[in-house]
A and B are shown apart, each in its own frame.
Chain A
Amino acid sequence: MRGCVTQAVRALWIGTCCLLASGCMPHATIWNYLVESYQPTSQPLTQKRLVVPPFKDSRPTTNEDAGALIYIPLMPYGWLDYALPEGAFAFAVELVPVHQFRPKDDLARAAADELRASGIFKEVNAAPRAIEGDLVLHGEIKSTRYYAILLSYGLSIAAGFPWLIGLPAGKVINELVVEFSFEDSGTSTVLWRKRYEEKYQATIWMPYSLPRQFDYAAMYKTMLRDVVQNLRQELTSRP
């Protein structure tokens, strides 16, 4: 009888440990932009063609990975700070590089896809250059900064213990700053211009909750929803 109780306690203990250790798996670091679904329109708001050239890239060019500092005893944290996340080999909880993320082209193509789906324009193309008479949507990428902080509480390789009892293991921040300008190539007039800043941040609870490391597509979706709305307003308000 006593042996059965001991075995049951042991099984319960092992089960609890397994439950604690089985956290959520991290999400893939991949650029995957999905276009919104819009109500079909019978007539576009303008008969002109919209061209979206590759975006201008004005981001800084330095990446820094000081994540290994957490191995130094008494050093409470390490950090990863990437201005070009597509050039990094690993993220805070995901030791794989981003799969072929090309911001200049990917962001322009996503904007073209989104605006094509919106039905505002007769035709939308992602093309390197516009011809006279086209409408052009320019974009300038100011930041795609990835910043993560890893907390070790000064315990070096023993940092796993505070994480296991539920203390946060760190934080991850994605920042996306893009400036759009909508121009008429015929008159070279800037019709609309707006700068967008979006930030995603999440706490890392190791190993229970490993948040997304690469959330740029979702942030860009928020921006493009507003861009579509703004362009629609601009086109309806002007003759």
Chain B
Amino acid sequence: MPERKISHTRMQSLPPPVTQAGKIWRRICALVCVLLCCVVIAGCYHPRGGVWAYRASSYPMPREGTINQTMVVLPFQDSRPYDNTRELFDLRWPIPMIPLIPNGTADYARPEAPDVPKLERYFYEIMTNQALPTSQWQFNPAQDFAQATTEELRACGLFKKVALAEHPAEEDVILRVELKSTRYRAKVLRYGLGIIGLLLFNLGTPMASVENELDVEFVFEERVSGQRLWQKRYHETKDATFFFYWSPPDFYYDVLFKTILQDVIKNLQATMATKKAVFPPNRIPAAISLLPHSQSAARDEAGVPPTDGILADRQGLQPASWGAQ
């Protein structure tokens, strides 16, 4: 009789037998987990690699009354500090595995320097599990900003001619610009959890963040009198958050500068409209008021039908007067 009791106790401790339906249910759960992990791991990335890609806007043709003046954009004065600092700014093994390590930070005053690691590149190294060769941004702030300003001002048609030059020559107005900051701030988030933090990233918590700051001051003045016609300082920022499955670009200086230049053009237009003494409107005949600005000006000056390149574009190819001499 006691033997029977023991056997009864053993029977109670055994788990209930798994049914066929239970087995299928478990397999479905496992498959869903695997699928979820794969979906989370498979991300979408938008690498920019620090390529400056400024595109001037297209503007409607200038209206009657646009001025017949020329402008020179001087090379930007670069007043940015030189400090590029970073602390524990690394996404690579083994730092993220160690608990209680604080967030990593990077603060670059001159982010275009070739020796400073950027977030986008680190992120890609993590995702592809390989070290990339040092990549330099294709960004030369002093030159690129000045070039973009010239292109945008040419495109807007407010002036007869816009030149980018070291010194003013015969131009009527001067645009001086001081570049005060192109600060790049990045933060690598760790939550102090070490390896558990990595699991949090898989669940969708932010991994890192970046902020681009642009601080520029524009001064618009008359060349001969040196009179300051307009002055404005712009401070713009843009930030982005990096997730394990979503990596945005970390370079937005061209986007920020675009916003600034659009406001600059509005302000220049307003300044020119209010200062009639400095910017007397042309007497443009109504018949050619729809032509691009340069032709209106040429026609106004010379009193002859316009035959410049833009009109040639509009009328098709014209016979040329050049050739072997």
Contacts and interface: CB of A to CB of B under 8 A. Distances in A.
Interface of A: 45-48, 57-59, 61-66, 68-73, 75, 78, 82, 84, 86-90, 95-97, 100, 102, 135, 156, 183-184, 186-193, 235, 238-239
Contact of B132 (A71, A72, A97, A189): A97
A71 B49 contact: no
The 7 closest A-B pairs by CB, nearest first: A188-B309, A87-B49, A87-B51, A68-B42, A61-B53, A65-B45, A188-B308
Contacts of B219: none
Given A84-B53, A100-B136, A64 B321 contact: no
Nearest to A83: B53
Contact of A47 (B41, B48, B51, B324): B324
Interface in B127-164: 127-128, 130, 132-133, 135-136, 138
Contact of B42 (A69, A88, A102): A69
A65 B320 contact: no
24 contacts: A47-B324, A47-B325, A63-B249, A64-B46, A65-B47, A66-B44, A70-B42, A84-B51, A84-B53, A87-B50, A87-B138, A88-B47, A89-B47, A89-B49, A89-B124, A90-B128, A95-B130, A97-B49, A184-B321, A187-B322, A189-B309, A189-B319, A189-B320, A190-B313
B55 A57 contact: yes
Contacts of A75: 42
Interface stretch (B17-25, B31-39, B92-100, B179-187): B31-39
A188 B312 contact: yes
Interface string B181-198: 000000000000000000
B16 to A, nearest CB: 32
Contacts of A82: 47
A87 B55 contact: no
A226 B25 CA distance: 66
Nearest to A56: B151
B42 A63 contact: no
B46 A62 contact: yes
Contacts of A62: 46
Given A97-B132, A186-B322, A188-B312, 16 more contacts: A45-B324, A46-B323, A64-B45, A65-B44, A65-B46, A70-B42, A87-B49, A87-B51, A89-B132, A90-B128, A156-B38, A187-B307, A187-B320, A188-B309, A189-B321, A191-B320
B317 A97 contact: no
A97 B133 contact: yes
A207 B51 CA distance: 32
A237 to B, nearest CB: 10
A72 B38 contact: yes
Nearest to B42: A68
Given A61-B55, A62-B46, A84-B51, A190 B317 contact: yes
B318 interface: yes
B138 A102 contact: yes
A66 B249 CA distance: 14
A63 B320 contact: no
A182 to B, nearest CB: 10
Given A100-B136, A156-B38, A193-B317, A48 B322 contact: yes
A186 B309 CA distance: 10
A174 B206 CA distance: 34
A75 B137 CA distance: 34
A73 B51 contact: no
B38 A71 contact: yes
A192 B51 contact: no
A99 to B, nearest CB: 8
Contacts of A65: 44-47
A137 to B, nearest CB: 14
Contacts of A69: 42, 44
B293 interface: no
B81 interface: no
A103 to B, nearest CB: 10
B305 interface: no
Contacts of B204: none
B285 interface: no
Contacts of A135: 322
B43 interface: yes
Contact of A73 (B35, B136, B309, B310): B35
Nearest to A46: B324
A72 B42 contact: yes
A128 to B, nearest CB: 9
Contacts of B135: 89, 97
A184 B46 contact: no
B214 to A, nearest CB: 17
A68 B127 contact: yes
A175 to B, nearest CB: 17
B140 to A, nearest CB: 11
A160 B117 CA distance: 34
Contacts of B53: 57, 59, 61, 84
Contacts of B309: 183, 187-190
